[in-house]
């Protein structure tokens, strides 16, 4: 017959033992979790993305000067029509040519003082200068620079000398922002895993993250944050967007 007087103390002792065991386990886990909060690594993730222009524009700026305003207006109109005729004959669609407003500069005097050698002399100047520009949409962004160079030479040969510039339209930054952030986070995790492996630890979850400012690279620039020098593509219709994110990971 079982002695109940002995079984009760044994049962009570086992309950206390397992209770203390579980209590010690949870205290250990709590202390370990608390100590792990101080084990972190801060890394940076760089992401770059090449943006190709979606459209290109060629701007032709020309001017004409004289003392008679009516004559200057007439000659400017003749020059404008001559340039448009050349462009349409060269294959540009007239609907792609935008005529911009005329700018008038009235000097209100016919002479100005200039230095010639060591003397100041009065030099006759033309009172009125009219400036106008045409903007052409270029459908093939890759050939825009070549087209601009050819137009410049052709206009000079036709005594229609003008100043030409090219401009490009690029995608909105918001359209590539998710891809940039995802890539920078991925690269930061790779750097963090390398650090964790070297420390014989395991990379945990993200504690905090800070997205750097998205920038467009110029021809040459130096990034003080990453100590890196970067160079933009030689092609003007390609720009480089970049971002550097700072991420703090837990180490387990």
Q: If we measure between CA atoms, which residue out of 162, 184, 183, 155 comes closest to residue 247?
A: 184
69-89 and 144-157 helices, crossing angle to 10°: 130
Mean pLDDT, residues 223-248: 71
CATH fourth-level superfamily of 55-169: Protein of unknown function (DUF541), domain 2 (3.30.70.2970)
pLDDT at 37 over 90: no
Phi-psi region of 91 (alpha: psi -120 to 50; beta: other; left: phi over 0): left
Q: Tell me the Cα Rg of the chain.
A: 37
Structure tokens at 238: 């390609």
Cα–Cα distance, 49 to 220 (Å, whole number) = 16
> Looking at residue 232, what is its pLDDT?
52
> Looking at residue 83, what is its pLDDT?
96
List pLDDT tens digits, range 143-171. 999 999 999 999 999 999 999 999 998 88
Does the reported pTM lie above 0.75?
Answer: no
pLDDT at 120 over 50: yes
List pLDDT tens digits, range 88-99. 999 999 999 999
Alpha helices, H only, 199-228: none
CATH fourth-level superfamily of 36-52+172-251: Protein of unknown function (DUF541), domain 1 (3.30.110.170)
Mean pLDDT, residues 121-126: 78
List pLDDT tens digits, range 48-73. 888 889 999 999 999 999 989 999 99
Domain boundaries, the chain: 36-52+172-251, 55-169
How many Å separate Cα 43 from the centre of its chain? 23
pLDDT at 19 over 60: no
Residue 157: which residues within 8 A CB-CB, separation 6 or more? Answer: none
Contact 142, 54 (CB under 8 A): no
Q: Do domains 36-52+172-251 and 55-169 have the same CATH topology?
A: no
Cα–Cα distance, 252 to 205 (Å, whole number) = 9
Confidence of residue 141 (pLDDT cuts 50, 70, 90): very high
Residue 202 in 3-state DSSP? coil
pLDDT at 26 over 50: no
């Amino acid at each position: 017959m079982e002695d109940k007087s002995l079984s009760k103390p044994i049962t009570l002792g086992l309950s206390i033992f397992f209770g203390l065991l579980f209590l010690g386990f949870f205290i250990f886990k709590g202390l370990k979790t608390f100590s792990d909060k101080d084990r972190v690594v801060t890394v940076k993730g760089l992401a770059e993305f090449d943006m190709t222009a979606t459209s290109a524009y060629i701007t032709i700026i020309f001017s004409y000067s004289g003392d008679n305003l009516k004559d200057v207006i007439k000659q400017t109109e003749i020059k404008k029509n001559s340039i448009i005729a050349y462009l349409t004959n060269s294959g540009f669609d007239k609907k792609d040519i935008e005529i911009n407003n005329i700018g008038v500069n009235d000097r209100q005097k016919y002479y100005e003082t200039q230095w010639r050698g060591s003397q100041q002399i009065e030099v006759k100047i033309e009172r009125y200068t009219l400036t106008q520009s045409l903007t052409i949409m270029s459908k093939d962004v890759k050939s825009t620079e070549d087209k601009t160079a050819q137009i410049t030479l052709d206009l000079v040969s036709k005594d229609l000398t003008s100043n030409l510039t090219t401009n490009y339209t690029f995608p909105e930054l918001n359209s590539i922002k998710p891809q940039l952030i995802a890539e920078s986070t991925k690269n930061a995790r790779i750097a963090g895993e390398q650090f964790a492996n070297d420390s014989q630890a395991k990379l945990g979850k993200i504690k905090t993250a800070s997205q750097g400012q998205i920038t467009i690279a110029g021809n040459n620039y130096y990034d003080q944050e990453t100590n890196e020098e970067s160079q933009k593509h030689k092609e003007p219709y390609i720009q480089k967007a970049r971002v550097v994110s700072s991420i703090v990971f837990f180490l387990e």
